[in-house]
Amino acid sequence: MKRIEKLLVPTDLSDNSRRGLLYACSLAAENKGALTILHVVNEFAAWELYCGEFTFLESTTRQAWPADRVIAEANLDVNRFLEPHLETLKNIPAVNKRLVLGSIAEQIVTVAEEEKADLVVMSPRRHRGLRRIFSGGITDRVTRMSPCPVLSVAPPLPSRPWRGALLPVPFRWPRQRPVTI
């Protein structure tokens, strides 16, 4: 079996992606491998409403932030996201943090190729509505395009009550009825 030396963990700074980060940290610590934490900055974060006095009413008032400012803001967010896990990250021989601007799935695949990652650890979201049905989720797209294996770490589903689920309807236990004397 191939030894996992380089792991890539894309994060969207959500609690769900925290699960993938912790799993990748444990894999990197066990294998004494390098861990790259990737955050793809949203293109829409690069736009703000430039408001002077009453200029917010005009449609031409949208201006882009400079890319370095967007990445600097995202860097602060990533640092805040990683603060609770600093002790865990100290157990890993090499930890890199990368921030890129662009399309999420394509950037994850590009960074996996550049870093020559052995494994990409992702945390998919469960329910995404119609967008997921028509275009698939980000994890699905990365899995199809990635040059290396992709491990999907999802939170467990809550268990449903099992009583009566194994027996067909006609063979269930009879109901307890009060006896009248």
What mean pLDDT comes out for the span 1-7? Answer: 84
- What total number of domains does the chain contain? 1
What mean pLDDT comes out for the span 112-136? Answer: 79
- Tell me, yes or no, whether 176 lies in a domain: no
- Tell me, yes or no, whether 175 lies in a domain: no
* Predicted pLDDT at 25: 93
* Predicted pLDDT at 111: 95
pLDDT band of 155, cuts 50, 70, 90 = confident
**Mean pLDDT of all residues in the chain?**
80
Q: Which residues contact 65 (CB under 8 A, 6 or more apart)?
A: 45, 46, 47, 48
Q: Is the pLDDT of residue 96 over 70?
A: yes
Residue among 74, 50, 53, 76 nearest 64 (CA):
50
- Tell me, yes or no, whether 47 lies in a domain: yes
DSSP letter at 142? H
pLDDT band of 66, cuts 50, 70, 90 = confident
Comparing 126 with 32, the larger pLDDT belongs to: 32
Backbone angles phi, psi at 74, to 5 degrees: -65, -35
* Predicted pLDDT at 64: 58
What mean pLDDT comes out for the span 137-159? Answer: 87
- Tell me, yes or no, whether 67 lies in a domain: yes
- Tell me, yes or no, whether 86 lies in a domain: yes
- Tell me, yes or no, whether 59 lies in a domain: yes
- The predicted-structure confidence for 12-64, as pLDDT tens digits, reads as follows 998 889 999 999 999 999 999 999 999 998 766 555 544 444 444 455 555 55
What mean pLDDT comes out for the span 102-123? Answer: 93
- Tell me, yes or no, whether 48 lies in a domain: yes
* Predicted pLDDT at 7: 95
Q: Which residues contact 149 (CB under 8 A, 6 or more apart)?
A: 118, 119, 120
Give the N- to C-terminal CA distance of the chain in Å, as an integer: 73
Comparing 67 with 117, the larger pLDDT belongs to: 117
- Tell me, yes or no, whether 131 lies in a domain: yes
Domain of 79, in residue numbers: 6-153
CATH label of the domain that carries residue 143: 3.40.50.620
